[in-house]
Amino acid sequence: MISHEPIMRALKKRLYENLPEFNTISRRFRTPANVSPPEMPALFIVEPNEQRVRSIEGLPEIAMLEIDLYFYIDAGQDPNDEPISAMNVLLDKIADALKPDYPEPLDQVCTLGGLVQHCWIEGTVEKDPGDLTGKGICRVPIKITVP
C-alpha cells in the first residue's frame, strides 16, 4: 500500500533543504499572477497523476507518481538581463537536489531517504523565461516509483 503523504513530505523537505535560492516552496499551487516579486523565485509541487501497475496477480502493485514542479522567476524589466540564465541555474540546482542518496556505482538513485524506489526528472522541461511578461515560468516533470 502506498503512503502518499510521507513521500510528498520527503520530497518537499529535500527540495526545501537543498534549494535555499527559492523564497517560496509550497505544495499549494498558485498561478504566476498570484505570486509577488518578493516571493520569487517560487517553487510549487503539484501532483497531477499517478499510474498503478500489477504485472502478475498476487504480486504487489507498483505505482508511478507523476509530479510537476512549477517555478517562477522575476524576469525584471532590464533589457540587458537574460532571465533564461537564471532559469537554467535553478534547473541545475533542482537536478542536484534529486541526486542519489548513496552515490555508489550500483545505487545511483534518489530514494527520498528510502521511502521510494527512485525519484528523478523525466520528460519535457517546459521553459518560458518571461522576456515578454516579466515573469519566467518553468515546469519540471518528476517521476517517482513506489513498490
pLDDT at 35: 95
C-alpha 10/C-alpha 6 separation (Å) is 6
| Domains in the chain with CATH codes | 4-146 (3.30.2000.10)
**Mind listing the pLDDT tens digit of every residue in the chain (147 residues)?**
678 999 999 999 999 999 999 999 999 999 999 999 999 999 999 999 988 887 777 777 889 999 999 999 998 877 777 889 999 999 999 999 999 887 666 668 899 988 999 999 999 999 999 988 889 999 999 999 998
* 3-state SS track over 4-29: HHHHHHHHHHHHHHHCCCCCEEECCC
- Residue burial 19-41, b: 16+ Cβ < 10 Å; e: rest: beebebbeeeeeebeebeeeebb
| C-alpha distance across the termini of the chain, in Å | 8
pTM greater than 0.75 (yes/no):
yes
